[in-house]
Amino acid sequence: MDIKKISHIGIAVPAIEDHLALYSGVLGLELTGTEVVADQKVKVAFLTVGESRIELLEPTSDDSPIKKFIDSKGGKPAVHHIAYEVSDVEAALAEAKEKGIRLIDEKPRVGAGGVQIAFMHPKATGGVLIELCEQH
Contact residues toward Zn ion (CB under 5 A) are 10, 55, 83, 131
Annotate 31-50 with b (16+ C-beta within 10 A) or e (fewer).
eeeeeebeebbbbbbbbeee
Could you give the strand order of the β-sheet that contains 52-59, starting from the edge strand earlier in sequence?
Answer: 30-37, 42-49, 52-59, 3-12, 78-86, 130-133, 116-119, 109-110
Between 100 and 116, name the residue whose CB sits nearer to Zn ion.
Answer: 116
Closest CB to Zn ion among residues 50, 100: 50
Query: Least distance to Zn ion from the beta carbon of 3, Å?
Result: 15
CA neighbor of 88 nearest in space, from 133, 42, 39, 40: 133
The residue (of 20 and 132) whose beta carbon lies closer to Zn ion is 132
Q: How far is the CB of 108 from Zn ion (least distance, A)?
A: 13
Select the residue whose beta carbon is closest to Zn ion and give its number: 10
Nearer to Zn ion, 131 or 134 (CB): 131
Q: Do residues 85 and 5 lie in contact, with contact meaning Cβ atoms separated by under 8 Å?
A: yes
Taking the complex as a whole, how short is the minimal distance between the CB of residue 80 and Zn ion, in angstroms? Answer: 8
Query: CB of residue 128 vs Zn ion: minimum separation in angstroms?
Result: 13
